[in-house]
Amino acid sequence: MENQRKHLKRSIFEKWFLNNRFSIVLLNVLLFFLVIWLFNKISFVLNPARLFFSAILPPLLLAVIQYYIMNPLVDMLERKFKVPRVITIAGLFILVAVLLVWIVNTLLPIIQSQINSLVKHWPYIWHNATIVIQDKLSDPQFHSVKNNINDAITHAQNMLFKSSQTAINAALDNISSAISIITIIFMTVVTAPFILFFMLKDGHQLRPYITEFAPKRWQESFSKLLYEINAALASYIRGQITVAFWVGIMFSIGYTIIGQPYAIALAVLSGVLNLIPYFGTFIAFIPALVIAIMISVPMLVKVIIVFAVEQTIESRVISPLVLGNKMEMHPVTTILLLIGASSVWGLWGVIFGIPIYAILKIIIMRVYNYYRKVSQVFAEDKNVALTTEATNKKEKITKE
């Protein structure tokens, strides 16, 4: 009788705790937050590591971005034409140096002149644009929405004024921070090429080297995990930069054709902000819209047409060819991720939220699939799968 009771207790324990999916999920969540709590308690120990990584992160990120852009060409020339990697790397470095010299001497003065003029005349542009809008709203047909739009314009003016004042005060009060930023930029520009050179030269050996640290029975799976992470990062970085480049080109051509003032500066702004999925291009479109409103209604129509044409080409041609669906992310997931990441980490969250999500998704799915394979919790699923597979085989044999 006592043995039966022990067996019954053991069966209940196994049923509700050891082999219960809900209980295991709760335990894993508890362990996850326990680890976070422990790291928070020993944060003073991790501060030196945080400072170390914050110092090396800017040049490393710049080198990684350039690596994913240049590495396909280095690999292709080595594989197809047996060109030594060092020669290809040296040629790419010379090409980049020539391109930078051309940008600094030719393109940068134009962009700088237009940006300075735009910043200088922006209060005047905004004031005239608001007057034009208010004149249009004086029509009795718009009387019902006039007050709401006037309140929105006033709120936007106050926000812009406060933001500019805050930025000016912060710049004046934090000279040491400005010097620190200049130092970081200088060190990044100086050290990133060296990191990039060795990444291009020896980067293809990194995955086998890291794989050696894993246990023998996990090395194949671990190598595939590293390959998937690398492929996801490569496709995202190359895709976003390529799309941003062509967005800038299209806007510069379109704005120049219609005679939009500050065409090159607005096009560069659109290309840079396009790195923020879904929202970036629309944010960059606001200054172009305000400037067009100030000029005339026909210019406003032309700017809207240019934007519509650009969006059509980008969404129907460029993005499908360059990006496709390699990230396997639903648009709703992307939007919610951007909103959440921006609220927690600000601009850095917007920029790095999607690639970090992609990496975590790959790792979690790998761990989850392994857990399904070895855990008794999913034994019923495995039996059902085996039964279904056997049934399908029997039906196939019967048909034959």
pLDDT in tens, 323-353: 655 566 777 788 888 888 888 887 778 888 8
pTM: 0.77
Q: Give the separation between CA 334 and CA 347, rounded to whole angstroms.
A: 15
Q: What is the 8-class DSSP label of residue 96?
A: H
pLDDT digit string (tens) for 113-127?
A: 888 888 888 888 887
pLDDT the model gives residue 176: 47
The contacts found for 201-208 with CB under 8 angstroms, 24 or more apart, are: 201/85, 201/86, 201/89, 203/67, 203/71, 204/75
Segment 162-201, tens digit of pLDDT: 544 554 454 445 444 556 667 777 888 889 999 999 999 9
Which pLDDT value is given to residue 3?
57
How far is 298 from 309, CA to CA, in rounded Å? 16
- Quote the tokens at residue 65: 């971005």
The phi, psi pair for 90, rounded to 5°, reads: -60, -40
What per-residue confidence (pLDDT) applies to 174?
47
Helices (H) and strands (E) in the chain, counts: 16, 0
Closest CA to 309 of 327, 285, 280, 276: 285
Amino acid at 231: A
Give the chain's residues under pLDDT 50: 163-164, 167-168, 170-172, 174-176
Residue from 313, 353, 347 nearest 329 by CA: 353
How does DSSP classify residue 328? -
Cα angle at 26 between 23 and 32, to 5 degrees? 140
Burial classification of residue 253, based on how many CB atoms lie within 10 Å of its CB (0-12 exposed, 13-18 middle, 19 or more buried): middle
